[in-house]
Amino acid sequence: MKTFKEFLAEMAQAVSIKQGILRRIGEEINAITRDYHKQIPFRQIQEVIDKYGYQLVQEDGTPWSGFLMGGAECGSAEASQQQATIDIVRKEDGMQMRNSLVLMWCKMPSGSYEVTAYVS
């Protein structure tokens, strides 16, 4: 676990993904999440981020390997709580980015998921 001082030092060094790359990532993620899905298309979203030289990581800097939990119906109060914010690092040097993947989902009456995702 990082100390608060280590966390602040990392954040001071953090840089953002360049706007052109961020725009392309956003366009590709939007194309993926445009439709309804039988499951959350996390792997496809992760592949887009990997394609541009970045990686999703957990709080300790290791590759993300968590679970996305929740199947609340769209429009319900519970659905508003179904959100994940995942850190991003540059693959070449592990540099922490100021950007994060923000992922929200809910379940339609049909059983399919509506997914919203973007890189902040």
- pLDDT, tens digit, 9 for 90 and up, residues 32-75: 999 999 999 999 999 999 999 999 999 888 999 988 988 999 99
Cα-flanking dihedrals φ and ψ of residue 43, to 5°? Answer: -60, -40
Domain that holds residue 55: 4-119
Q: What percent of the chain has pLDDT over 70?
A: 92
pLDDT at 9 over 90: no
Which SS3 state, helix, strand or coil, does residue 21 take?
A: helix
Query: β-pairing, 83-90 with 54-57?
Result: antiparallel
Q: pTM here?
A: 0.85
Distance linking the first and last C-alpha atoms of the chain: 25
pLDDT at 10 over 80: no
Angle at 66 between CA 24 and CA 118, to 5 degrees: 25
In the chain, how many domains are there? 1
